[in-house]
A and B are shown apart, each in its own frame.
Chain A
């Protein structure tokens, strides 16, 4: 019987249930990136001219930019010419909106196996789903129901054609392509993603959800999500992601832009379970993502909730620009790093409007040789009268080799603005485990209880079904992390 948490390593390679490959004919562009590749991509998607011009501008900007290396993550250089920037199942016609009956059964089966059935009868109650497979959307469910409410929920490529004014007006308005290296790359080559528009005063009648799946080898996934909540509207959105187990690393560089106009509220939740690599650190997704929300109108609210269990490297800082007076930004995060995973994640709360408020609750769990950093910035601009931020970062270490860092940056430019910051680091102690076991709980249950207790505040922010899912995911991810 071995009960010491000092013996937590090596962690067993278990539990990545999403690691299968779908055997399907794929059209894949040859590796490499150039203006020609981008032009061809845009043509394949029958995109309007403005979009191609924008992509090319982004590409030219990207060429002059440096890959950022300020995070805690270390990794060998990425060869951007070795990546294929477009891959799509041959059976998916990129130009045509699809009805479920026309979708390749192998794709439907893939999503069923992942626990997100696309058939509306079988789907999670009250959740509309956009399913993105490699570079294309294969199906979007409940479109009719949503249309009746006036809500637009469709693949990005379709929006670019069907709603060019909206896309043109808002694309890049929160994350300009010059923002950073990966945002510029994404702007040049993004293939698909989801588009949401909620008209004024409408409360979106369903949860909206996108499931991102990388299947093809030697590709990256570069999706783009744009959500616009018009005045006084409300929408709750959830994204999930998985990829097969492969020995090489794959790049995922997404951009998500949220715009909340006056009095609107957007809740954005992520359950990220990209393949994390094996216990030696072989393979896994590089998850380099820019997510930002703009509380553009007064009294608007944007809330980010993320549960990050996957990816070899996570580089991600969902942020809020609190421009409107009395707008509210929230960030609730659980990030888990085990094996050789490296998670560098956090948020930026940029307070510009008066009496803007933000809350940041970050829970980092490190196990095995996992490294977890919370990197957060709170900026109170000179205009942010009586703004307030509350930040708490808790780190939980499991085993002797795991690491946690907290890197806060606080800038206060107005004397009436207030920032409260708390940070704690704790270990799951042997005597806590023994105490639980003495009460009849086995070791694994004890660890789950301790970890769930640790994450509770964040899980509570997820829609119920997903909170259960997130708990299970954490449990599976920590299987073998003890004993």
Chain B
């Protein structure tokens, strides 16, 4: 573990959706290059956390502070957050049938590249990048022609999310149950994609129910989120503990 300034610093975060508190004073610090796993029962607030970090308009921040690379994240629009390198792989990727996936990917890559002061890709450069990265997640070129996630199988949607992560080269990638619904081979592909993107200045948050993913991607920290709060943080061993005994023992320790 390093002593650098956290890339993401969440302090005492309280979040409401439709008049209900979902996060109740959550704290989380992630330093550059770290991989954190977040586990927790259904409905404990994991997606709420990552969606709020991405700026989803459906959640109200009642209290708390979030800084991202020293900047107040809460003053930024979703696209500004994305352009500064915050990426969310959705638990349920959205289908946009009328919009070509290739066209969409290129527009997204170029929006982010321009924000970083890089020259936007032309069609040829984009295709080159796609051809380089798509095989890592086992997607063929035919996925450029289809509508965004339209008619993709569950696993293909997840792989398309990882492909986007690889193309956008984020500084913080939030992967919300990217492993759910994947067969073993696809899981390995996704893990390979994630491992390929690991570097000392890229941080990753893995939201997952299964320690299986952590067999392939070794996390620096494992957190347990219950009822809108992180109740335990530890090493990989914590994931094994949960796998064996479930969340009951942890719940019992809560006041």
Contacts and interface: CB of A to CB of B under 8 A. Distances in A.
B140 interface: no
Contact of B103 (A431, A435, A437, A449): A449
B7 interface: no
15 contacts: A430-B57, A432-B96, A434-B56, A434-B78, A435-B148, A437-B78, A438-B55, A438-B90, A439-B107, A441-B107, A445-B107, A445-B111, A450-B99, A456-B98, A456-B100
A43 interface: no
B59 to A, nearest CB: 11
Interface centre among B55, B90, B99, B100 (most CB of A within 10 A): B99
B164 A439 contact: yes
B82 A435 contact: no
A439 B90 contact: no
B54 A438 contact: yes
Contacts of B90: 435, 438
A439 B108 contact: yes
| 8 shortest interchain CB distances as A-B pairs | A453-B99, A439-B108, A440-B111, A453-B98, A437-B78, A435-B94, A440-B82, A3-B57
Contacts of B54: 438
A37 to B, nearest CB: 49
A434 B90 CA distance: 11
A316 B46 CA distance: 53
A431 B88 CA distance: 13
Given A435-B94, A449-B104, A454-B98, 9 more contacts: A426-B98, A432-B94, A435-B90, A435-B93, A436-B108, A438-B79, A440-B112, A440-B115, A442-B111
Nearest to B83: A440
A71 B111 CA distance: 43
Given A1-B57, A1-B77, A440-B83, A435 B115 contact: no
A425 interface: no
A4 interface: yes
Nearest to B96: A432
A437 B76 CA distance: 12
B79 A437 contact: yes
Contacts of A437: 55, 77-79, 82
B168 interface: yes
A165 B195 CA distance: 78
Interface residues of B, number: 32
A1 B74 CA distance: 11
A426 B87 CA distance: 27
Interface string B69-83: 000000001110111
Interface centre among A431, A432, A437, A456 (most CB of B within 10 A): A437
B103 A453 contact: yes
Contacts of A3: 57, 78
Interface in A439-466: 439-443, 445, 449-450, 452-454, 456
Contacts of B94: 429, 431-432, 434-435
A435 B83 contact: no
Nearest to B113: A440
Interface centre among A1, A438, A450, A452 (most CB of B within 10 A): A438
A441 B108 contact: yes
A438 B96 CA distance: 14
Contacts of A445: 107, 111
A221 to B, nearest CB: 35
Interface in A3-35: 3-4
B100 A438 contact: no
B57 A441 contact: no
A439 B96 contact: no
A442 B58 CA distance: 17
A431 B91 CA distance: 13
Interface in A338-361: none
Contact of B79 (A426, A432, A442, A450): A442
Nearest to B57: A3
A153 to B, nearest CB: 36
Contacts of B87: 438
B99 A449 contact: yes
Interface centre among B54, B96, B104, B111 (most CB of A within 10 A): B96
A344 B104 CA distance: 32
A441 B111 CA distance: 6
B56 A439 contact: no
Contacts of A426: 97-98
Contacts of A432: 94, 96
Nearest to A1: B77
Contacts of A434: 56-57, 78, 94
Interface centre among B55, B57, B90, B147 (most CB of A within 10 A): B57
B108 A440 contact: yes
Interface string B147-175: 11000000000000000100010000000
Nearest to B54: A438
Contacts of B77: 1, 437, 442
Contacts of B96: 432, 435-436, 450, 453
Nearest to B93: A435
Contact of B168 (A4, A440, A456): A440
A6 to B, nearest CB: 11
B104 A440 contact: no
Contacts of A453: 96, 98-100, 103, 147
